[in-house]
Each structure stands twice: as structure tokens, then as C-alpha cells.
Amino acid sequence: MLNKEYILKKIGKGLLHVFFWFGVLLFYTYFFGVGSTNFNQTLYFSLFLMPITIATTYVSIYILIPNYLITKQYFRFSLYSLYTLIVSAYLIFVSIFFSLIFLSDFEYDKMNPISKNLLFVTTGVYLVVIIVSAFKLLKLNLKNATKTNQLEKKILETQLKLKEQELKYLKMQIHPHFLFNTLNTMYGFALKKADETPEMILKLSNLLDYILYQVDKPFVSLTEETNHIKDYIALEQLRFNDTLSVSFIAEDIIETTNIAPMLLMPFVENSFKHGVIKNGTLKIDITISCEENNLIFNIKNTSQANTNTKPGIGLENIKKRLELLYKDQYTLEITDNEATFEVLFKLDTKNVIQNV
């Protein structure tokens, strides 16, 4: 059932067309009345041209342009435009005979000066057709541009939602993986009833708060991430005892630098998990620094051939997250040889807040 708003819209559109064609009639009356003193003759001649002009215009704006020009069917558009031109030109020619026969009683001298000239009459008709067609073409182009923009916006929104879902999925993988390793360490100390257990529980509590709550934030400060890396190293040092040698250097840290949470932690975790004890020691060197707008993170651990060919969930997830969060803003170099496994990560932090 048609609603009131739709009906009013159609009525308004119809009235607009009526006013427009009334204006065209006034234009014809003025244009074809130049040099003539017989107003009635000019008006009748203009009225006779109106159906030709209206029909030609509507064929152009409702059939030729939307069905063939906009859809890039140029051959059909050209062919049907030619047909329309021939038919309309024939009708214009007939209108001149109408002026001669019915308005001037077969007396050529009584005809309006302009109506005697087929070129001027044709120009008057096609001028209206061209102007209206140009306006229609512009309107359709604007409409298509709006639709294209809306479609692009929907695509971007869909891509953003997919990106958010993928990031959530990656975080869901990181959480239990990281938590399992940490609780496993805790379990070992509980079995030994070690004196360091309370300290370990405190550090674990801080890490759990970071993993379960802080990680859902869009970004955290680099200082916060660095502090939790220190807590994690402290836990691992309690577990490894004398078999672990860690060098951790954090220098020139800019407090306003923000990064995605758990961005650097998986690299550290990966080194402890896949590092190899050589000569009775697992050696890990970690450096975090800021230079101008760049965050530089370097971690190296003792390794041996083929031990890091399958680096685990954490490292694989960080690669995916980096591509999602910081595409074209970072470099990641991984070097794996018989002696060491090294990661060099550089991040342009200038626009980090906007992109996290």
C-alpha cells in the first residue's frame, strides 16, 4: 500500500515537471516570437512543438541515458539516439508545415521569421533536450558516486570488523598459551615448596592482570609493556636458576610511546620456550630503545640448527597482528642459524595511536 510520503513525493515531482515545461513554453514563445507581431500564432506554434520536445527529452533522460549510456552500451546508445534524432527532426519539420498550413493559411510571408528556418527551430528544441539531458547525466553521476562511496564505506566497515574479529581471535590464542607457560612454571615451584613462591605469585598476579584486563585496551604505554617483560624475566629466572643468563637493556624509552598490548611479550616468551641451553646456560639478550619516531626491539637467544623451524603460536600471531595493526609501518627481521636465533623489530611510532 502506497504511503502518504511516497504519494506527496510523486505529486511534488509531477508539479516540478509541469512548472519546468511551462517555463519551456514561455521560452519558446519568446524565442520564436522574435520579429513577429502575432502572439497567438507564436503561442500555437510553441504549443505544437511542446509534445515533440517533451517526448524527445523523456526518451533521452529515461531510456537512452540510464539504460545505454550509463551502462556503457555505447553502440546501442548511438543507434537509438540516431533513431530519436530522425523521428524528432521529422516531427519538427512537420511542425513547420503546420505553421504554414494552419497558422499562415499557406501564405509564407505571414509565418514567423524564425519558424521559417528549420535550423533555428531545431536548435530551440534540441537546446532544451541537451540541457535537460546534461542535468540528468550529472544527477546520475552524482547518484552513482554516492552509491560507490557508500559501497566503499560498507566494504571498509566490513574489513574493519573482520580485522577486529581476527585480532580478538589472535588474542584468544595468545592468552591461554602465555598463561599455560606461566602456570606451568608456578606448578614447578609449588612442587618444590620453594621460598620464592610468594614473590612468584605476586609477579604472576601482575602478569595475569595485564593479560586478562590490560590487553583488551587498544594500546598501552611502552613503559608498561617493558615492566611486564621484566616481571616475566624474573619469573623465568626463578625457574631456570643458574642455567639462565639474561641481559635486558631498556634505554631512551619515551613515555608517550604507545603500542598494542602483548606486542613484544611473545618474542620474549618465544626465546625462553625455544632457546637452547648451551654449555649449561640459556643466554638471552634483550634491547629496547627509542630513536626519534622509531621503536627498536632486539632479542637474541642461544639456539641450534632446526630448533626454531616451528616457532609456535606466539611468534606466528605477532606476525599476523603486526600486519593487521601496523601495515607498512614496521620491519621484522628474523635470523636463525646454528648458534643463535635473533629478532630485530622496528616500528614507526609516529601514528601508532591512530592505527592501534
pLDDT tens by residue, 165-196: 665 655 555 556 556 766 777 777 777 776 77
103 and 215 part of one domain: no
Residue 259: domain span: 194-355
Domain check: are 119 and 212 in the same one?
A: no
**β-strand partners of 247:** 285
Residue 317 forms part of a structural domain: yes
Same domain, 99 and 205: no
In total, how many domains does the chain have?
2
Identify the H or E element spanning 335: strand 330-336
DSSP one-letter string for 141-176: HHHHHHHHHHHHHHHHHHHHHHHHHHHHHHHHHHHH
Residue ending a domain, choose from 98, 123, 153: 153
**Distance, C-alpha 304 to centroid of its chain:** 45
CB 240 within 8 A of CB 282: yes
Q: What is the structure's pLDDT at 285? A: 95
Last residue of a domain, one of 99, 132, 153: 153
Residues of the chain with pLDDT under 70: 1-2, 35-37, 100-115, 160, 162-179, 181-182, 194, 211-216, 305-315, 351-356
258-270 pLDDT tens trace: 888 888 888 888 8
Average pLDDT over the chain reads 80
pLDDT of residue 356: 42
Do 265 and 342 belong together in one domain? yes
**Range 176-180, long-range pairs (CB < 8 A, 24+ positions):** 177/312, 177/313, 177/314, 178/211, 178/262, 178/265, 178/266, 178/269, 178/314, 179/208, 179/211
Instruction: Give me the CATH number covering residue 337.
Output: 3.30.565.10
